[in-house]
Each structure stands twice: as C-alpha cells, then as structure tokens.
Amino acid sequence: MAKVATIFACQTCGAVHSKWSGRCDSCSEWNSITEEASGAPVSGAKGQAMPKGRAGNLVPLTGDSPQPPRTMTGIAEFDRVTGGGLVPGSGVLIGGDPGIGKSTLLLQAMASLANTGARVIYVSGEEAIDQVRLRAERLGVAQSDVLLLAETNVSDIIATMRDGAGPAVVVIDSIQTLWSPVIESAPGTVSQLRAGSEALIRYAKQSGASVLLVGHVTKDGQIAGPKVIEHMVDTVLYFEGDRGHQFRILRAVKNRFGPTDEIGVFEMSERGLQEVDNPSRLLMGTRESTTPGSAVFAGMEGTRPLLMEVQALVSPSSLGTPRRAVVGWDSNRLAMVLAVLETRAGITIGAHDVYLNVAGGVRVREPGADLAVAAALVSSLSGIALPAEAVFFGEVALSGAVRPIGQSELRLKEAAKLGLTRAVIADGAEASRIKGVDIKALDDLSSLAAWITSR
C-alpha cells in the first residue's frame, strides 16, 4: 500500500500548512491546526508525467439554456432565500450556530415539501430516529411523508439514495458527523468534511437530487466549520439570530441560481418557526418612542426594506477608558461616527460610556445606518427624544457630510406603510420624495445636531 501523506489543516478556515504551529497564518485562529491524513497517496516519482487528456467540446456563449426548474418547499420565506426554490442537482449549505434552529427549519421545510408529493429524505447523524420523530410531533408535522435515515457513513448514505426511487431532496444533518471510510482522520476534521461533502455533491450532480448540507459554525478549532466547504456548493445560506431573541434570519451569502443578500425572517415559537412576512411591523412593535436615544433606521435586506430601531445610551463614565459596547452593528463604524461627531460637529462624547444596540437581535451591515446612529447618539447625550414618527438614513463621510444612499424610495415607502410621516435623510436624496412623508434634508452632522437640539 502506498504511504499516506499527512497534512496540517486548520479546522477553522481549512488552510493547509506544511508543519504544525500554534496559530494559523491564514485566519489567525489559535490552536486550530491538526494533523490529518491527506487522503491522497504520496506520489513518490517526482515529475510524473500528466496523463494525456481528451479534448472537450467548445460551445458558444450565445444560445438558449432553459431556466432551471425549481422545487418549492411551500415555506415562502425559505423559497425566497433560495432564489425561488431549490434547483435540482444543486448543493446547498446551511450554516449556523449550534442550537440556532437549523434542524427545526429543515424538518419543517421538508415536511412541507413532502406534502406536495416529493420524495424527501432526511439523514440525521446527530439525532436518533425517535428524537426526530418527537421533534416532528412537537412541530405538528409528524404526519408528513418524510423518509428518515440515521446514518453517518457517506458510502452507506449514497448507497441508500441510489436504492429505489431517487429522492428529490436530501438533507444531511450535519456534515460534521459525516464519516468516509477511505479517509483516516476522525469525523469533524477538514479532510472528512471535504471528502463527505464532495461525494454528496457529486451524487447531487449525477442524480439530479438537491442536497442540503447542514453545518455548525464552530468557535474553537476542535471541529471544522462550514467555511471549508463553501466553495464546493452552489448556494450558501446562514441561519442567524440572537439566542435571547425570537427572531431568526436566513440569509443567502452565495447563490449561483439567484440573488445573494436575500433574507427570510422567522419567529421562534413553541411549535417551531413561524414565517414573518412583515418584519418591520414586528421590530417596530416593541419600540418605546419617547425615550431619548432611539432612532428608526430604514435598511435594506436583499430586495426588501426593513425598519429597525437603533438604540443608543450615552452615560458619564467612571472609567479611565470609557466603555464602547455594540450589539448588531460594526464597532469600528461606531468609533468612526463618534470621531466625526466630535471633530466635525463639536459634539464631545469622548468621556462617556457608549452603548449601541439594534433592537430585536438584528444585525445591520449597511453604512447607510450612520445617520440613524448619529441621531440616536446626539439624542441620548442631549436627553432630547427624537420624533416618534421619523425615520433616518444616510451615510456619514469623514468630512462630516451626510451622503445619500441607494433605494431611498423603497425605504421611504416602507416607512410610510408603517405610519412614519417624517424622514431625515441626506440632501440630494429628495428626488425620491413620496406622498405622505415630510422630508428633512441634511448636508452634514452639524445640521443634524442643530435640528435635534432646536426642536
């Protein structure tokens, strides 16, 4: 037997190193590198000739290709994120923190799909059949025709699929339990994850089944995370949310068959995940509008506008280095807005503790939230509440200027739909004026501060 080569693979990012070290150069994670069998025999002969290849068929780019057919699960928020349903023969990765609700979401989606008559197989490597059944009962989907398989051996999983009528959709829960007999390392290592996922994706392409791979996001380097197979699959979805909140967001970060950045919003309940088709209303429902430091931001999530509440608390600090704590936004961005407020608008927050929170456990990624954050900060510092019916959006430049952001009209429409009648936005974005919303246009942060304190 040929000698098996060993590699040193980072369990977090999948980078391969020639020797062990305490820290991965590629992702800077500590203690994440482990020795694994590479799976490929060492080719002893140096400069071994490449086998002679066969010429392939060249085709012109122009020409008709039919739109791929789609398998809709019937859960609208899920179908939206996949770009209008699952594409046969595609591989989809669904990542998320352990316990966030991946298994629940998929069991519900598969039950709904099975009710349309599709053959659906749910492979559980983590839970026993009885546990899955109990969960299905709790979710009220125990009567649907989902086929279960408790198996972790990849060859056996694929053999089961090939036996009898081929499934339309297969769920593998989770990739970290997959175990391939041809790889020497333990389940959960980079080589096992790659080999198992590769085999299943190859099966998907050959058979036309959609394969959904569940992957736990891992914090320490003990088991490999879903990042290491992102490049192999056609679609990457992440299921996120704050454990303390009932909201869960399914987000597409890569999609070869549809738009990315599309989100689906769910609410957790005793009976599983409920779809939320008007998330703005839910997020705004809990708002206390008379408190200083609260500003409504009209963000965009994929193609949908979403209103969120930005809360700031600025309080005198007893510490030498004041605290800056941010939940749901980028802390570097907060530091920037604070610095711009101080330098360009003369508002000194430096000696205060600053806490910033986006309500509902949502995470804002847009720089367009700068203006809402600045307004919340000034409001909290001055003790003057912002008008309850106002929405804010705009990007803040280092010069202190407020810049317009894209899709103002959609954002304003969403605000109007939820009964907000004023918008504080950048000068220049007024072209998108809509009926029923009064616009206050600002060109810089000084005028924002002046507007807040003069009211």
Closest CA to 381 of 344, 343, 402, 355: 355
Q: Compare residues 103 and 185 and give the one whose CB is closer to Mg ion.
A: 103
Q: Given the complex with ligand TYD, which of 246 and 421 has the nearer CB atom?
A: 246
Q: Which does 268 bind (CB under 5 to 8 A by kind): Mg ion, ligand TYD, none?
A: ligand TYD
Query: Would you say 297 and 328 are in contact if contact means Cβ atoms under 8 Å apart?
Result: no
Q: Which is nearer to ligand TYD, 253 or 336 (CB)?
A: 253
Smallest gap from Cβ 138 to Mg ion, in A, equals 14
Residue nearest to ligand TYD (CB): 101
> Considering the complex, what minimum distance in angstroms separates the CB of residue 107 from Mg ion?
9
Nearer to ligand TYD, 268 or 439 (CB): 268
The least distance separating ligand TYD from the CB of residue 251, rounded to whole angstroms, comes to 15
Per the document, the length of the chain is 455
Kindly state the smallest distance separating residue 99's Cβ from ligand TYD, in Å. Answer: 4
Nearest residue to Mg ion, scored by beta-carbon proximity: 103
- Residue 98 binding result from ligand TYD, Mg ion, none, given CB thresholds of 5 to 8 Å by partner type: ligand TYD
Residue 394 site contact among ligand TYD, Mg ion, none (CB < 5 to 8 Å, cut-off depends on kind): none
Minimum distance of Mg ion from residue 126's CB (angstroms) = 6
Of Mg ion, ligand TYD, none, which one sits near residue 178, judging by CB under 5 to 8 A according to partner kind? none
User: Which of the listed partners (Mg ion, ligand TYD, none) does 131 bind, with a CB threshold of 5 to 8 Å by partner kind?
Assistant: none
Interface contacts to Mg ion, rule CB under 5 A = 103
End-to-end CA distance of the chain: 82
| Chain residues that interact with ligand TYD, rule: CB under 6 A | 96, 98-104, 268-269, 272-273
**Nearer to Mg ion among residue 82 and residue 103 (C-beta):** 103
Smallest gap from residue 101 Cβ to ligand TYD (A): 3
Please name which of 251, 250, 280, 252 lies closest in space to residue 266, comparing C-alpha atoms. 250
Least distance (Å) between residue 131 CB and ligand TYD: 10
Closest to ligand TYD by CB, 162 or 219: 219
Q: Which is nearer to ligand TYD, 122 or 297 (CB)?
A: 122
Q: Which lies closer to ligand TYD via its Cβ, residue 97 or residue 389?
A: 97
Q: In the complex, what is the shortest distance from the CB of residue 123 to ligand TYD, in angstroms, rounded to a whole number? A: 14
